[in-house]
Amino acid sequence: MSEANAGTPQTHSEPDSVDTAPKRRGPGLAAQVLIGLVLGVIAGVVFGEWMSHLKIIGDVFVGLLQMTVLPYIVVSLVYSLGRLSYEEIGLLAKKSGAFILIFWGIAIFIIVSMVIAFPSWPSAAFFSTSLIEEREPVDLVKLYIPSNPFASLANGVVPAIVLVSLAGGLALSGVSNKQYLLKNLEMASDAIMRIAQFVVQLAPLGVFALVGAMAGTISVEELGRLQVYILTYIGAALLLSFFILPGIVSIMTPIPFSRVVSGTQDALITAFATYNLLIVLPLLSERIKQMLEEVDQLDADSESAADLIVPINFNLPNLGKLLGLSFIPFAGWFAGSPISIIDYPQFLTVGLFSFFGEVVVALPFLLDLMRIPADTFQVFLAIDQVSGRFGTLLAGMHTVVLGLLTAVAVNGKLRVNWAKIGRHALISVLLVFALFGGLRLFFEYVVPQEYRLYHALTEMDLVSKRVDSKIVPLEVIKPLEETDERRRIDVIRNRGRLNVGYVSASLPYAYRRESEDLIGLEIDIIHLLADDLGVALNMIEIERDDVADHLNSGVIDLAIGGLFATPERAMAFRLSEPYMNASLSLVVRDHRRSEFAEWDQVRAMTDLKLALVDIPFYVRRAERAFPFADIVVVESPREFLEAPEGKFDALVYSAEAGSAWTLLYPSFSVVLPKPGVISVPVIFGLPSDAPSLSRYVNAWIALNKSSRQIDRLYKYWILGQGASHKKKRWSVVHNILGW
């Protein structure tokens, strides 16, 4: 919820009745929001996954919150600047601009340092389409220069919207007879705020729905990981609010450290309780003047500075708001896709300008920019009801400190003692590292999280209707007679069973779980195919190198196991129509992700040791693409993943299958180097002399692709949707009441 539109207190008119008995007043909006949050958590624990149905209510609430944000940015920035003269703008810019930049620098330092607190818990994730989505390179000109302001508004390009609004406000400052337009802008701002205030009244219900849906569906492991952000954020906000910022004031002005804290505590507590900075702005301005008067620093100039800087600072990215940027690195860590060190300059620059607007618009934009799954924004909305209050408290302290420093600077009484400033900076840096380093030790040694995600692969089950299926040893199956080879489909129907050869341990296409059941994407597809053929299944384990021999001899009718289409395979046996495209990637150790971010980086490595599964076509391609690399053929990804560190640098493998393997080996990650994504068709193997079977299978694949059946199975097995459906999260109604 934004600081601008959260928690407006309700007003109560005097009763007309003569009955003067005191009326019972209900809890205020802030209390209602807290009640909604608590009830959401309780409902999630009690009702579990039933609460997922409330997600749509939470989505409606979020949409209503975002509805007024962009209009508010435009109107408020134009109005705030337009009502000032150029002299006032120049004075404020001169006196407060340096402090604003310093505070932004402090925010960036804190945000980058917060990553220290993120523990090295094992982490992995199913394949995500965000890895392969083709995005145009960031065009900084389009991002910041609004050549078409209406297009920027329509597409939510926040930096460009802020810039055009600032330009409009500055232009309006020099216009004569502007009071009429200013009055209209003020009324427009009031109207927007009335809409926002109405939406805020829905906050208890919206928070209940968001928190309830999250608490009912989030896994125990994910819940444990959320404490990392909450505690780190709160620690940073408190350190800034009660040491770093008041310390700057005590060094550079006559106002003592303790007075900065005690003189603002009522306003800060109110802002914290109501989750609303806007309603305490007048109170903050008054407290600034009181503290200035106590040290004989209040005159007409400093009073004017205080009156101007408080409302203007509300429209700038303050420390409380900027601290929300730390969610982006956390979301990357949470999703198993941490931001690369080389992406931080872009992230911080774009993020700073994006936060001239509202967090609920800026964060989805930044998540998309950094290729982090957009679903993590729902996590932010839920936990922000707790952590965001500390951000509002920090925003209040930042406003007070900036007002005090600017007012004293206007008087020319600012003290610059470099020795004291350096000592305070050094102590602050040491405290930052001690705080985040201590949290890191706490997370890793006091509340360590057991890695459980590898169970996801074994707990998934087939979606399709199961036909009778049994695993048959290879030696039991006899080759077909030569006369039967060309009428293969008739033989299959007469036999009543489809002989399917599968390459073992082909995650996530075909693999055995602990119960010895065969599961996977292609197992699901084959059950569908057999059901439509009206036959049962014989599943026969084969070696990858023997696929052609077993198909053409009639031992098996179909081969599966994540087979890529290659020219050699097309010459050796028939290839079915591709049922999906895989994406070539590199599987590397987590700590080496940044080394393989671009193909040019990889090609330039002179001592590169690359592992490849034995597919001659791709081995030759790799030898040409990486002339300085030592190419090593492996029988299985497991050979690479279990090798001692240093034996291999990377495994060339599909991103879809590689992501599944990283669930078993979470110290590895999948990297798709830039630029471009290399797609590879995934097919089934068919006998060379079985045209009728080939026609049937190809038509069947085309039909099930067009009907979205294969797409549904792709989402279930490749994107991991099946992992969330297999095992219900613990809840009272399921695990205690047995409902």
Same domain, 361 and 510: no
Kindly state whether residues 179 and 74 are assigned to the same domain: yes
Write the DSSP assignment of 617-677 as a string of letters.
Answer: HHHHHHHHH-TTSEEEEESSHHHHHTSPTTS-SEEEEEHHHHHHHHHHSTTEEEE-PBS--
What domain range includes position 366?
Answer: 29-116+133-446
Contact, 243 vs 428, CB < 8 A? yes
What CATH number should be reported for the domain holding residue 552? 3.40.190.10
Domains of the chain: total: 3
536 and 659 belong to one structural domain:
no
Same domain, 199 and 83: yes
Q: Do 498 and 427 belong to one domain?
A: no
- Cβ-based neighbour number of residue 189 at 10 Å: 18
Q: Residue 20 domain-assigned?
A: no
Amino acid at 509: Y
| Domain boundary, last residue among 446, 476, 510 | 446
Q: Let me know: does 76 contact 185? Beta carbons within 8 Å.
A: no
Cα 684 from Cα 713, distance rounded (Å):
16
| Whether residue 140 is found in the same domain as residue 209 | yes
Position 514 in a domain: yes
Same domain, 647 and 571: no
Residue 5 lies inside a defined structural domain of this protein:
no
pLDDT value of residue 280: 67
Q: Is 566 left (phi over 0), alpha (psi -120 to 50) or beta?
A: beta
DSSP string, 505-561: SBTTTBEE-TT--EESHHHHHHHHHHHHHT-EEEEEEE-GGGHHHHHHHTS-SEEEE
Q: What is the pTM of this model?
A: 0.67
Burial of 127 (0-12, 13-18, 19+ CB in 10 A): buried
626 part of a folded domain: yes
Tokens coding 81: 């600047």
Question: Domain boundary at 655, 681, 707, which?
Answer: 681
Whether residue 530 is contained in a domain is answered as yes
Three-state DSSP state, 364: helix
Which residues have CB under 8 Å from 190's CB, separation 6+?
A: none
Same domain for 692 and 667, yes or no, is no
Query: What does the block give as tokens for 460?
Result: 């998934």
Cα-to-chain-centroid distance, residue 341: 17
Cis peptide before 256 (omega within 30 of 0): no
Residues composing the chain: 739
pLDDT means over runs of 10, the chain (739 residues): 36 39 56 77 83 82 71 75 77 79 92 91 74 62 75 73 81 87 86 75 78 70 75 94 93 90 76 66 78 84 69 76 90 80 86 76 81 74 76 90 88 86 95 95 83 76 88 86 70 91 91 84 95 94 91 92 91 94 89 83 86 80 83 89 90 90 87 83 92 93 94 91 64 75
Report CA-CA distances (Å) from 449 to 220, 618, 666: 10, 39, 13
Whether residue 225 sits in one domain with residue 202: yes
Do both 354 and 311 map to the same domain? Answer: yes
CATH number of the domain that residue 379 is part of: 1.10.3860
Please provide the distance, in angstroms rounded to a whole number, between the alpha carbons at the two ends of the chain.
Answer: 35
Q: Are 531 and 497 in contact (CB under 8 A)?
A: no
Which of 389, 424, 446 is where one domain is finished?
446
Residues 410 and 501 in one domain: no
553, 589: one domain: no
Q: Is residue 124 in some structural domain?
A: no
Whether residue 512 lies inside any domain: the answer is: yes
Residue 694 belongs to a domain: yes
